[in-house]
Amino acid sequence: MHLGRCCLSHWNSRFIATLAVVTLLCAAIGIPWLAAADSVKHPVPTDLELHSARRTVQDLFNSEYEHSQDSTEAKDRLAQTLFETAKQTRDDVAGSYWLLMEAYRLAKEAGNITTTYSAAEELNERFQDVDVLRMKADACEAMSDQSVSIATANDVAKIAANSVEAALVDNSFQNAEKFLQAGVTAAERIKKADLLEQLEALKLDVQTLQKQYEGYESALEILKTNANDLQANRTVGVYLALRRQDWGEAEEYLVRSGDEFLRGLVAREFLPPTSLEERVELADGWWDFSENIDGAEQLQAKAVATRWYAVVFPELTGLSKKRVGARIDQVPSSAVDRSHAVTRRIDDQPQSFPTSNEAVVFLTDLDEVSTKGWEYLGIKEIAFSKKRIFSGDRKNPEFKPIVLGGKESPHGIVSHPTTNGKAEIVYRIGHLNRSWFRSTVGVADLRKYGPHTPPTFEVWGDGKKLWQSKPVKKWGEPQDCLTNIEGVDMLTLRVVCPGDAAFAQTVWCEPRLSE
């Protein structure tokens, strides 16, 4: 679509309405609007190009712009219309950039944090030099004051808290502070004590991680004049290993640090252990190392150990299981989520999915309490004409199994979220007296596209979030899930998509309960 070639008559309200319906339908069934989407980021258009694009957009949407002054709802509708149009505009770079910038601006003024974030992310996907974190932080800041609605303040408080983590991953401490302040302001307005407590804890994390980063940068400066400084090499090596999980680069510095024990741990992450004994030994090594350090590094080392402990825990017995369980309980889940080391290594060599001979209960053998979105059993074919297929013969041979990471999942569940929504399935499990839930999650291999918006997997127990995945950006890349469900009655598997849900064929492979 090229904005400059469109006649004004083509942009009447009926066309816009039809366009929106078609767009939503395409997103729902996983068909891209254009087969050849841009995969290369464009430079930001020049001022002259943007001036022309601005005039074109304002001419084409003149009526909508006039009505947007009447109410917040009208402004929000225009923001969403411009955003949908931008997603379909692939051969007019300046036009798509201006559409997205306008969608971002109008959604921010209208208090729609979801569309604001989606527009910022789309800009970042298509264009170079987009400070997406700053755009999101500015949006949260603008929507956190007393003039916004309670509903908007509630959304901002939750999203701002989650966005702090993204800023920390990027070492963007200024944006992290902005998110924190916006979250606190919004949470105070809606009187969310638990969220305020979470934000206060995050504030301490930001301060600790910023101090760690500053120490890392100072050590790099020392190494510019003295490449063999033992302490500086150790500081850099520890940071690269524990904060960034860059084992190769970390070892290069640790060779010159004199810390052979830490170097040995890092070296073993190159070829992750496969036997139970070796995995326990590596986890114990990281735990022992954590006992001799403090600050951010101590918690990060415990988090790496805990990820390995979580892998071996179901196979342990007796005192060993008790000891490891106690250590797992000591480490906050937020710290474990920040450490991707073990998850990444295990994903490189995914374990075989279990067979029905294991002493487990597969969720697909249970009756579901409720569902939302489009879900169907893994032994059923992915067929969008069949939005709800839990009844009937579950072993019909004509249906194909779900495949994730090259492995079939005969007990898997595909759970396709809706755009800006979620998909979930709820089971009652209290009577089964199980302690652990395990699964492998990702986007099905059936689709050779990544999801338009990275979805996130969540496990909830009796209304409390127990586990959350990293956002899934590509198909066929599994993430392991393990979480404690002792005492849980209602178990909810949820997939959340904060934007366009096209190609989000999300899979829960072999979701199962164990003792």
Q: How far apart are CA 461 and CA 172, in angstroms?
A: 33
- β-strand pairing of 506-514 with 479-484: unpaired
pLDDT tier, 146 (very low <50, low <70, confident <90, very high otherwise): low
CA 401 to centroid of chain Cα atoms? 26
Average model confidence (pLDDT) across the chain: 79
Confidence at residue 97, expressed as pLDDT on a 0 to 100 scale? 95
Looking at 300, 321, 348, the residue that finishes a domain is 348
pLDDT tier, 476 (very low <50, low <70, confident <90, very high otherwise): low
Domains of the chain: total: 3
- Say whether both 283 and 338 belong to one domain: yes
pLDDT tens-digit readout, 49-88: 999 999 999 999 999 999 999 998 999 999 999 999 999 9
Question: In Å, what is the CA distance from 339 to each residue of 241, 307, 308, 332?
Answer: 10, 8, 11, 12
- Does 354 reside within a domain? no
Q: How far apart are CA 332 and CA 334, in angstroms?
A: 5
Range of the domain at 296: 210-348
Mean pLDDT of 173-184: 91
49 residue type, one letter: E
Q: Give the DSSP H or E segment for 202.
A: helix 193-225
Of the listed ranges 207-221, 231-245, 398-412, 434-448, the one predicted with least confidence: 398-412
Sheet order of strands, 368-372 included: 368-372, 421-428, 490-497, 456-461, 464-468
- Say whether both 170 and 243 belong to one domain: no
Confidence at residue 9, expressed as pLDDT on a 0 to 100 scale? 39
Q: Is the predicted pLDDT of residue 447 greater than 60, yes or no?
A: no
- Does 177 reside within a domain? yes
- Does 356 reside within a domain? no
Residue reference for tokens 């601006």: 105
- Does 398 reside within a domain? yes
- Does 123 reside within a domain? yes
Q: How far apart are CA 231 and CA 367, in angstroms?
A: 59
pLDDT tens-digit readout, 117-142: 999 999 998 999 999 999 999 999 88
- Say whether both 279 and 170 belong to one domain: no
Mean pLDDT of 336-348: 46
- Say whether both 171 and 222 belong to one domain: no
Confidence at residue 343, expressed as pLDDT on a 0 to 100 scale? 40
pLDDT tens-digit readout, 196-222: 888 888 898 899 999 999 999 999 999
Using alpha carbons, select from 184, 202, 205 the residue that is nearest to residue 140.
184
Confidence at residue 359, expressed as pLDDT on a 0 to 100 scale? 59
- Say whether both 480 and 365 belong to one domain: yes
Q: Is the predicted pLDDT of residue 394 greater than 60, yes or no?
A: no
Q: Which two tokens stand for residue 470?
A: 């990293």
The SS3 call for residue 255 is coil
Question: In Å, what is the CA distance from 42 to each residue of 120, 123, 132, 188?
Answer: 15, 10, 15, 41
Question: In Å, what is the CA distance from 67 to each residue of 62, 132, 147, 237, 251?
Answer: 9, 29, 21, 58, 61
Q: Is the predicted pLDDT of residue 434 greater than 50, yes or no?
A: yes
pLDDT tier, 392 (very low <50, low <70, confident <90, very high otherwise): very low
- Say whether both 273 and 400 belong to one domain: no
pLDDT tier, 373 (very low <50, low <70, confident <90, very high otherwise): low
- Domain containing 410 — which CATH number? 2.60.120.1060
Q: How far apart are CA 279 and CA 131, in angstroms?
A: 40
270 residue type, one letter: F
Q: Is the predicted pLDDT of residue 492 greater than 60, yes or no?
A: yes
- Say whether both 30 and 174 belong to one domain: yes
User: CB atoms < 10 A from the CB of 66, how many?
Assistant: 11
Q: How far apart are CA 87 and CA 80, in angstroms?
A: 11
- Does 199 reside within a domain? no
- Say whether both 154 and 284 belong to one domain: no
- Say whether both 377 and 287 belong to one domain: no
CA 387 to centroid of chain Cα atoms? 25
Q: How far apart are CA 468 and CA 233, in angstroms?
A: 34
Comparing 484 with 408, the larger pLDDT belongs to 484
pLDDT tens-digit readout, 273-282: 888 999 999 9
Comparing 1 with 96, the larger pLDDT belongs to 96
Looking at 138, 156, 189, the residue that finishes a domain is 189
For 140-162, give one letter per residue: b (16+ CB within 10 A) or e. Answer: bbbbbeeebeeebbbbbbbbbbe
Q: Is the predicted pLDDT of residue 33 greater than 90, yes or no?
A: no
Confidence at residue 120, expressed as pLDDT on a 0 to 100 scale? 93
Q: How far apart are CA 483 and CA 514, in angstroms?
A: 11
Q: Is the predicted pLDDT of residue 342 greater than 60, yes or no?
A: no
Looking at 319, 348, 377, the residue that finishes a domain is 348
- β-strand pairing of 388-389 with 374-377: parallel
Confidence at residue 396, expressed as pLDDT on a 0 to 100 scale? 37
* Stated pTM of the model: 0.54
- Say whether both 292 and 265 belong to one domain: yes
Q: Which two tokens stand for residue 352?
A: 């075989």
- Does 253 reside within a domain? yes
171 residue type, one letter: N
Residues 6+ positions from 58 with CB-CB distance below 8 Å: 65
- Say whether both 53 and 113 belong to one domain: yes
Cβ proximity of 208 and 295 under 8 Å: yes
- Say whether both 336 and 218 belong to one domain: yes
- Does 302 reside within a domain? yes
Q: Is the predicted pLDDT of residue 98 greater than 90, yes or no?
A: yes
Q: Give the helix, strand, coil percentages of the chain, each rounded to 5.
A: 55, 15, 30
Of the listed ranges 322-336, 384-398, 495-509, the one predicted with least confidence: 384-398
Mean pLDDT of 13-18: 43
Mean pLDDT of 477-485: 85
